[in-house]
A and B are shown apart, each in its own frame.
Chain A
Amino acid sequence: MRYLPITENDKKEMLKSINMASMEAMFSVIPEEYRLKSLLDIPLPLSEMELMQHMEAIASQNSSDHNKKSFIGEITFRHFIPSIVGSLSSLPQFYTAYTPYQPEVSQGTLQTIYEFQSMMTNLTDMDLTNASMYDGATSAAEAMLMICTYKRKNKVLISDLIHPHVKEVLQTYANMNNIQLQTISSDEGSVSIAALENSVDKDTALFLVQSPNVFGVIEDFSIMAPILREKQIACGAIILESLSLGILRPPGHYGVDVTVGEAQSFGMSPNLGGPGLGFFSTRKEYIRKIPGRIVGKTTDDKNRTAYVMTLRAREQDIRREKATSNICTNHALCALMATIYLAGMGEVGLRKLAQWNVAVSHYAYDTLNDVPGLKIPFRKPFFNEFVVELGQPAENVAKKLESKGILLSGSNLSKSYPYLKNPMVLSFTELNHKEEIDELRDALKEALQ
């Protein structure tokens, strides 16, 4: 076995040197009744070549935007990934390292986390960002738990236009903490300000809102934030398409308490949904309550700049059941990818890319506008995706286009938003050329006849 350097001879000599009669004897601490008497029922081992062929066969059964045209977004985004991201993040000193418990031999990991925290803090216009979370939904759930603990209240208002996947995760976490979720209805594709005003009361800890929301519409924090501030209710923004931060005023600008979400757009492949990158940004006042790791800048014994995990007394390995969260391993390598990506795109590149996405999606908006049987229900500013209503069940339309080499979203939004007729979100990024969009229009025209 090429991964195992201990030879038969080594084994004999080593057993002898530790006065152990046999390998069996060493495992005799496991009660006999639990010792496996035969080998596991696992297929015979494959050589490297056989494994490669086997995996190629599996991969070839799948379609994605590498061999089809895709207009799927919502929770995971298709973006071009510059070569530097894969090339640098696959340096073995990065990816074969553990959590940086020994700072002297982990400055590479620690400094990149500090740089990640810096970039995300600037992007969101918040005070601080932690070292990363699993994904946008669990990050939102942790934000909810943090604010409820901080405010000692258990009522949370959530916008109905948070993506159903995120709403469901919030519900899962709320169930076990006796947190009451109350949904704030929408009005023409964005949060109903009247509903929000009518629902805020002294028991409310937090209002959570996604922007751009599930329909792709950009929410107006300049109206929502003051309403909440006046009632001393925290405001939490959820961002699933982080590239929108390349052009939109960040929620932090309007004074929200937390900005959380998914930063998979910054250099990660869709990966069938994981791993992506959860981020957690908040205000100074919450710093001792945040979940997970955070890296701080300090100096060493010779007064040189050094980075180290800090405020560790909040964490599970020290505080145990009194920890602010149970999170330990996060998505550090994904945070590294995002850091490389953002360093490469920079101040100007990220803005240009965001503008490109706006331009492409607005070309699509104009192009699809007059497809018979397709209606664009909301006429509000959007970033790179928007919802359409279809003359036929969305699933049928997706199937028809699939046969023409076009992939559309299979998320069943009609269940969550029954007031829309066969809704489907179409997403457009820099990867979608104009010609592809024209092809989409023609295919939809034909399918919806």
Chain B
Amino acid sequence: MTEAMIYEYSKKGKRAWSMPQKYENINENDINQWIPKEWQRDKIGLPEVSEPEVVRHFTKLASMNYGIDIGFYPLGSCTMKYNPKINEVVASMDGLKRLHPLQDVETFQGALQMMYELKQFLSEITGMDTIHLYPAAGAHGELAGMMIAKKYFEDIGQGKQRKVMLIPDSAHGTNPASAAMVGFEIVEVKSTPCGQVDVDHLKTLINEEVAGIMLTNPNTAGVFETDIKEMADLLHQNGSILYYDGANMNALLGQARPGDMGFDIIHLNLHKTFSTPHGGGGPGSAPIGVKKYLEPFLPYPDIEKTDNGYSWKEKHEKSIGRIRLAGPNFAVLVKTYAWILTMGAEGLKKASEDAVLNANYIREHLKEIYKDSVACICMHECVLSASSFEKYGVKAKDISKRIIDYGMHPPTNYFPLIIPESLMIEPTESESRQTLDSFIEVMKKIAEEAKTNPELLLNAPHHTPVGRPDEVKAAKDLDVAYIAE
């Protein structure tokens, strides 16, 4: 079943809008008096559809989607945990959602207090001295972090010298892309067979040009970087900084803190670790945290607490500057705040415990069948490999598509790049043992099918609204917009 494009429902005279009579019948001559006729457009190019049709169209489209509310969504590195309903309710309270960013601070003290408290909570959770709430998503947090690093080195007179950013070959693609955007040269650090940073290789790369390293810990193979202290010491002795990509912070909630491990700059993904919905690709929110000595470089504006309540902090001359049009993703911050208050310290700790337990449970029960190239205890996610099925002509992608037939969402494929035919599985703490057991059963069944009836996998999925799309055609006969007649 496919759904027609919204423009296909369009017919002159249909409408899904209403407005007061006197404005509906505005005199065009008046308008022409105010805005020159030649500056007014002829057509806009929007469809004309009735309200029931709009409702059915988008409801049908929703039914063609899979979300965490439907079932298991073990997408590695994405932390698809339950998005609590109350969080959506509180974020849509009038006293929060209707606030305008240019109001006088005295008119939204409640909102400022909430953000101030959230900064303190995140500071406690991460062990960083100061948190800044503005970056819009992980990559934006990284970008702000890289700007801070760059500005810091300029400030101490090493701007020209510190031009290299070290990045493990297992890192998320955003890391090298963000560092490159501020002008750093990227040098890749190799991983050990265990997926950890190869410290011997790292040692050969450290020199006076190195500005820092960007690390994800646990790394993208789901393994904790046990040599973190040695790495931190090596870099700090060299005058370099450590950047923490918080994509995998879910493993550490209440267990350990990046600030204690020597990280100088971090970002968090509230839409991962802190339960806010991913919305089919955002909005996210990625507060950054820094150690005291980097505070002056934080973006502008920021909140402060004074004797007269909360207000905007004066801009520091060393600040990297403004990074957003109007505000942080405030609605996402509200949901995060609500989640932390619901979980409490014990709840946060149990969340990371269950997340790690669930991942290890899946790994232990599947590692014989799906070769586990990373032979260490994993944390909140495990990376299995489908490479042993290649002899049947079956790839990781085919296994993933077959998982869809069983009513579940596939894991992440082909990432991290260092593991061939990878299936990166992150169950999160939201899953019951029954769900984990049925996933394990499904994976075993698919392994059997791969041997006995590989066609079943190669043609999967079988019951979705559409089958595998022709990606080559999409790129070749590029159609990215319908232009209205």
Contacts and interface: CB of A to CB of B under 8 A. Distances in A.
A248 B54 contact: no
A350 B471 CA distance: 35
Residue from B15, B66, B341 whose CB has the most chain A CB atoms within 10 Å? B66
B368 interface: no
Contacts of B182: 176-177
A274 B324 contact: yes
Contact of A51 (B338, B377, B412): B338
B364 interface: yes
A39 B345 contact: yes
Given A60-B110, A93-B65, A298-B473, A99 B278 contact: yes
Contacts of B260: 34
Interface residues of B, number: 200
Contacts of B183: 176-178
Contacts, number: 711
Interface in A41-85: 41-46, 48, 51-52, 54-68, 70, 72, 74-76, 78, 82, 84
B467 interface: yes
Given A3-B82, A14-B433, A402-B106, A66 B48 contact: no
A326 B143 contact: yes
Interface in B430-485: 430-433, 459, 461, 464-471, 473-475, 477-484
Given A23-B353, A218-B39, A308-B469, A17 B364 contact: yes
Contact of B323 (A61, A169, A247): A169
Nearest to A50: B341
Contacts of B207: none
A449 interface: no
Interface in B249-274: 252, 254-257, 260-261, 271
Given A274-B329, A274-B331, A347 B433 contact: no
Nearest to A68: B107
B156 interface: no
B162 interface: no
B399 interface: no
A84 B330 contact: no
A372 interface: no
B467 A399 contact: no
B189 to A, nearest CB: 14
A128 interface: yes
Nearest to A137: B325
A359 B34 CA distance: 9
B415 to A, nearest CB: 7
Contact of B331 (A275, A306, A381): A275
Contacts of A112: 58, 61, 280
B23 interface: yes
A21 interface: no
A365 B64 CA distance: 48
Given A40-B254, A296-B475, 15 more contacts: A36-B257, A42-B344, A59-B95, A61-B108, A72-B100, A82-B17, A99-B281, A104-B466, A114-B480, A134-B140, A218-B39, A274-B283, A298-B471, A329-B281, A381-B34
The 8 closest A-B pairs by CB, nearest first: A273-B327, A122-B45, A59-B95, A45-B344, A333-B279, A61-B110, A273-B326, A332-B281
